[in-house]
Structure 1
Amino acid sequence: MKSNSQSPTRNTSSLSLRESLTHLSLSILCLSLLFKTLSRENGEPLIASLAFSGIAFSSTYSMIRWLGPTFMRAGLKGKDLSKRDRKEIPETMGAICAVVYLLIIIVFIPFPFYKDIVAATSGGGNRDVVRGFEEVHIVQNGRFLHKFPHSKLAAYLSAVLSLQSVVILGIGDDLFDIRWRHKFFIPAIASIPILIVYFVDFGVTQIVIPIPLQPYLGELFQLGPLYYIYMAGIAIFCPNSINILAGINGIEVSQSLVIALLLQPTRTSSPSTCSSPSSASPSPSSSTTGTPPASSLATPTATSRAWSSPSAVSSATSPKRSSSSSSPKPSTSSTASRNSST
């Protein structure tokens, strides 16, 4: 009986030969894609992201199987309430997923900035960079350096810092069983790095009013300093709305997939006031008087796009001409022939 009770643990904690070969092949394929992206000019961050996703999947799948008995020996275990036998299974497996994800996004940092890193180095990296005096910095040794996008890197690192804060507080919740009224504000605390970077780089405190309410409240609503409290509230709402059904197997992930699938139709079906050709181009009457038509005044984006072109500006600023002045002048040869015949 003792050997029979321990045999499932041994089988579930180790990978089969088929699983080992599958994950090994996937990891080798992803690593080859990563090395191939380094030979490209811009680093191919999208392909690198897909390759890192495959590595993260194989690593997480394998480590959950390998570290399950270790977690159970440490007391991190519980009964599976969704099964008839309700056997004990390891808990806090989310820590493995979170640590692997954090390591992956940290290693991924050079790939989205690969082109800027290569351009900022001496030698061949500077030959393909179009440099102007506004876009470069001159260092003391006289070498031209491409302007690195520090704001994008700061936003990326702030997101990593927020994720690390959530992971630390989440693991603390699993270990010390923090009360609900205390861990309710954990996402708001973790969102502080992102909000600080947003305040420094952007500082826009307007929100878009839902389309059914726009005739009554307008398109935008200014919140001011309350915007950051609003975003902290959003950070609290999103994870708790997903975590509220975490006790039922499959429901938590399923509702996340449904939300992700519904986001794209919502974005593509939103009305755009700048898509109609009539509003994007000025009418003939308005091009002669120098004033945009009334239909384009309702869409500032379309108006600025249509009137920013040189042809539109020249036609708008040119004085009104009569039909006789706009007709082509007779050529010199035809004038001379008429004079000779006269």
Structure 2
Amino acid sequence: MIFLILLVSFGVSFVGFPIIIPRLKRAGIVGKNMNSEKQEEVAEMGGLVMASGFSAGIITAIIMRTFFNVFLSISLASILAVLSTVLIVVIIGVFDDLISIRQWMKAIMPVFAALPLMAIKEGYSMMRIPFGGLIDFGIFYSLALVPLGITGAANAVNMLAGFNGLEVGMGA
């Protein structure tokens, strides 16, 4: 079953890149290839294709859960919250590429992407700390650690954006 999800995600990404990249170049959504001597133009926003592949995989998992009774241990609310979080981060990235968001805003905006996960109190507030035992973070986990984690991950991707495509593969 997981193989089917991976196959759908890979298929959408594999088919999507050759279709989207030339269109992005024609639309002028390009940047300089800083890793080559010629510094030729390369398409930006390739993450849209990866996000489409991820979304297709999630939708496949939801279909399998609904009609074939697999993945029942994972709540539908959790699946949709993760999908919403990823899509909000993608929308922030698109806005950044199109209208160039200020640096301080890029650091803060991913907090809003954490809202779906915060709303359903996703995750476990108890963590086992090496040599420290079990710690229960309580509400602090949902209200502080989840947004911090989402913001950190989103900004790590944003920091790698100068390396022409490396950030897209980071989520793969």
TM-score normalised according to structure 2 size:
0.80
Partner SS for 2:163: coil
Distance 1:54 1:241 in 2: 23
> 150, 153, 163: which one pairs with 1:238?
153
Residue equivalent to 2:117: 194
Partner SS for 2:31: strand
Query: Residue 172 and residue 250 in structure 1: after superposition, are their counterparts in 2 closer, same or farther (change >3 A)?
Result: closer
Deviation at 1:48, TM superposition (A): 1.6
Residue equivalent to 2:33: 80
Q: 1:112 aligned to 2:65? A: yes
Residue equivalent to 1:160: 83
What is the aligned length?
A: 170
Deviation at 1:151, TM superposition (A): 6.8
The answer to whether the 8 Å contact 1:208/1:221 transfers is yes
Q: Which amino acid aligns with 2:12?
A: A
The answer to whether the 8 Å contact 1:48/1:111 transfers is no
Which runs of structure 2 are paired with 1:4-15 in the superposition (5 Å)? none
Q: 1:52 aligned to 2:8? A: yes
Q: 1:97 aligned to 2:50? A: yes
The answer to whether the 8 Å contact 2:11/2:53 transfers is no
Residue equivalent to 2:141: 227
Distance 1:183 1:250 in 2: 19
Q: 1:248 aligned to 2:163? A: yes
Query: Residue 250 and residue 163 in structure 1: after superposition, are their counterparts in 2 closer, same or farther (change >3 A)?
Result: closer
Partner SS for 1:247: helix
Gaps of 5+ in 1: 1-44, 118-148, 261-342
Q: Which amino acid aligns with 1:240?
A: N
Moved over 4 A (4+): 249-254
The answer to whether the 8 Å contact 2:111/2:151 transfers is yes
> 198, 204, 208: which one pairs with 2:128?
208
Query: Residue 190 and residue 109 in structure 1: after superposition, are their counterparts in 2 closer, same or farther (change >3 A)?
Result: same
> 61, 80, 83: which one pairs with 2:17?
61
CA RMSD, 1 decimal: 3.0
The answer to whether the 8 Å contact 1:191/1:232 transfers is yes
Partner SS for 1:82: coil
Distance 1:187 1:235 in 2: 7
Distance 1:253 1:69 in 2: 17
Partner SS for 2:120: helix
Q: Which amino acid aligns with 1:96?
A: V
The answer to whether the 8 Å contact 1:205/1:222 transfers is yes
Deviation at 1:176, TM superposition (A): 0.8
Deviation at 1:231, TM superposition (A): 1.7
The answer to whether the 8 Å contact 1:59/1:100 transfers is no
Partner SS for 2:45: coil
Partner SS for 2:42: strand
Q: Which amino acid aligns with 1:167?
A: V
Gaps of 5+ in 2: none
Distance 1:206 1:197 in 2: 16
The answer to whether the 8 Å contact 2:125/2:136 transfers is yes
Structure of greater Rg = 1
Aligned identity (percent) is 26
Partner SS for 2:160: coil
The answer to whether the 8 Å contact 2:21/2:43 transfers is yes
Map Cα deviations across residues 180-225 of structure 1 (whole Å, 9 max, x no partner): 11111232211111222226xx7x533322x14x2xxxx1223232
The answer to whether the 8 Å contact 2:158/2:167 transfers is yes
Partner SS for 1:208: strand
Q: Which amino acid aligns with 1:83?
A: S
